[in-house]
Chains A and B, each alone.
Chain A
Amino acid sequence: MKDTSHVNALENEAIYIFREVAAQFEKPVLLFSGGKDSITLVRLAQKAFWPAKIPFPLMHIDTGHNFPETIEFRDRLVKELGLELIVRNVQDSIDQGKVKEETGRYSSRNSLQTTTLLDAIEEFKFDACIGGARRDEEKARAKERIFSVRDDFGQWDEKNQRPELFDMLNGQIELGQNVRVFPISNWTELDVWSYIEKEEIEIPSIYFAHKRKIFLRDGLIWSHSDYVYQEEDEEVIERMVRFRTVGDMSCTAAVFSEASDISSVVQEIRDSTISERGARIDDKRSEAAMEKRKQQGYF
């Protein structure tokens, strides 16, 4: 039998955090992207409140450029578990003239999500937004608290964060502020995968090796799609790939892989020499790309 006791410790910690959210806030919401981290959050939330239902809704900020497999999966999960799902669309923010579509070679709707998210928080008066960010993903995230206070403008004041001591989480806020909550802060990518394997959690098919039309740019594997800008000289080829991280099609790069089931994916992650966000085009913009987006209210 595989030794999963350290994942158990992380699971106990995450369940504790979920219960603190339910107890300390009036209108929490779980931000659901259809990715493996937010699917893991749903499982943890189920465990935290069993036999009661998860006492808050899920919300998806839909860029409109998602992988169709993700959206299909999302709708099925919500139906099977009897959860409440709120969807807000980046397209609406564009139509309302609040944000402008990026153009050109590296255009993506990823950063446009922030406006749609902040508007939705205001619309529903959410006071806690639960997300699947992990500290091991990226340097700026390594400094993130479990309960991270955002001001009226959704901004992160990274130099003035509340200290978090022992297990105690301080969720006291003023009206208009909200808290971003990260129950799997202390999990690594491998921990998430080990947990998915142990719990036999279903995830979208794009996480497993499949044949896909792709093209290569800057050493990254891009999906050939209407949503992704492509130069004429960038040749489309078909290869076996899978995704390690799933965001918008325009900002998520694939990896060459033959791993078609969960145990071979776990093995692949274990042997991997490139980090998960190494396949995130949005982080490549600059050394401080993530920190800048977080200050502006990005998740």
Chain B
Amino acid sequence: MNRYWKEFSKGLIHNNPVFVILLGMCPTLATTTNALNGFSMGLATMAVLVGSNLTISLIRKLIPDTIRIPAFIVVIATFVTTIQRVMEAWAPPAINESLGIFIPLIVVNCIILGRAEAFASKNTPLLSVLDGLGMGLGFTFALTLLGSLREILGNGTLFGFRFLPTDFSMLTFILAPGGFLVLGLIIAVLQKLNSKKDTGVSA
């Protein structure tokens, strides 16, 4: 039981794919113009990650070692195409519009290929699904946090609810530079917290 919890929880904070391992930067920066977009992108990526982790783990003994990367890419691309079709059919048009090209680009998100190569190709299906869920939730959490901060600073709203006057908004934070700045500052804060914890333990 402990093992399962460990594989699930490691992606949430400790090995967070965005803040700690710095993977999947393109969707992280591009789709977090507001909290809802970031959250939707996180969920879409998590769905692909769980599906591809499960499938790859089920067929891991059938894939010859030399062609494993192309095989993984085909599996991932299949799930991405499925999600793309599902979102075109059921997701609100505004979300499809703003996520745009980054839905097909989930296929080259390094997190997904990274988990396939590092985890799912070596572990049992149940563990791989838990790993995918944990990493996916960590990614969703990171994107929602970044999107929330950018929406509050740039527009004075959170998930569309206004709680700061319009005069307060700084549009730059919704535009491209804001993404880089906010993510950089979040990581700086995390590094500061981590270094404190480390010195506390050693002292």
Q: Are A and B associated in one complex?
A: no
- Taking Cβ atoms with an 8 Å cutoff, the residues of A that contact B are none
